[in-house]
């Protein structure tokens, strides 16, 4: 179900992140067990959702017990969020026009996060937002960074570490290809991707 060129997209993004991490040096504190970015709900594309489902299917073969735990955490997460879900709580499709989207479920842990280890059980299949989080990234109004990183760095030093990745066109074409093949459109969240 996942477009074949998704591997190319992942490779381009991961290489760009590795380059930004190299330039960041000790200012970038992201490491296994740091889970601050794993708490809070955020929109993911159907391409990200398909990648997560494929990753869960692989995990079900290699470690069925962990895969079951991820699925259970996803279902529990949906049950907690359903009453206030900013979109269609049946399909998991977000209504991105809703003003409360940014504040929704900001304390909800990602179901892929193993609470015992602090590691992502679906790390190789993680969404693009997860892949690019950490290094400085251009956002509306400037450059955004993780609040735990880049302490003591000047604005110029932070800018020199900026993540440079130009994959919008490739990602859009892969998302369109996936939609054509599956009929799935609209952004969702990790928990719904894992049970859908």
**What is the mean pLDDT for each group of 10 consecutive residues in the chain (196 residues)?**
94 97 95 92 96 98 98 98 94 89 91 96 97 91 90 95 95 96 95 94
Cβ pair 123, 114 in contact under 8 A = no
| pLDDT value at residue 141 | 82
pLDDT number for residue 187: 96
> How close are the terminal C-alpha atoms of the chain, in Å?
13
- Cα 191 to chain centroid, rounded: 11
Q: What pLDDT score does 149 carry?
A: 95
Q: For the chain, percent helix, then strand, then coil, each to nearest 5? A: 50, 10, 40
Q: Which of 83, 51, 96 is nearest to 190 (CA)?
A: 51
Instruction: Quote the pLDDT of residue 27.
Output: 96
Q: Given this model, what pLDDT does residue 196 score?
A: 76
* pTM, two decimal places: 0.94
């Amino acid at each position: 179900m996942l477009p074949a060129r998704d591997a190319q997209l992942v490779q381009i993004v991961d290489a760009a992140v590795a380059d930004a991490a190299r330039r960041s040096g000790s200012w970038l504190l992201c490491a296994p067990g740091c889970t601050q970015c794993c708490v809070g709900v955020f929109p993911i594309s159907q391409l990200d959702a398909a990648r997560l489902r494929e990753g869960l299917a692989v995990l079900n073969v290699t470690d069925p017990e962990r895969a079951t735990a991820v699925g259970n955490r996803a279902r529990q997460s949906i049950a907690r969020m359903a009453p206030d879900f900013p979109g269609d709580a049946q399909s998991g499709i977000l209504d991105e026009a809703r003003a409360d989207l940014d504040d929704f479920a900001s304390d909800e842990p990602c179901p892929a996060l193993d609470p015992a280890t602090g590691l992502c059980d679906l790390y190789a299949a993680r969404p693009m937002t997860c892949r690019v989080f950490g290094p400085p990234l251009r956002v509306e109004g400037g450059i955004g960074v993780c609040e735990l990183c880049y302490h003591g760095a000047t604005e110029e030093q932070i800018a020199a570490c900026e993540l440079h990745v130009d994959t919008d066109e490739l990602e859009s074409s892969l998302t369109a290809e996936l939609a054509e093949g599956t009929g799935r459109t609209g952004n969702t969240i990790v928990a719904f991707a894992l049970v859908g």
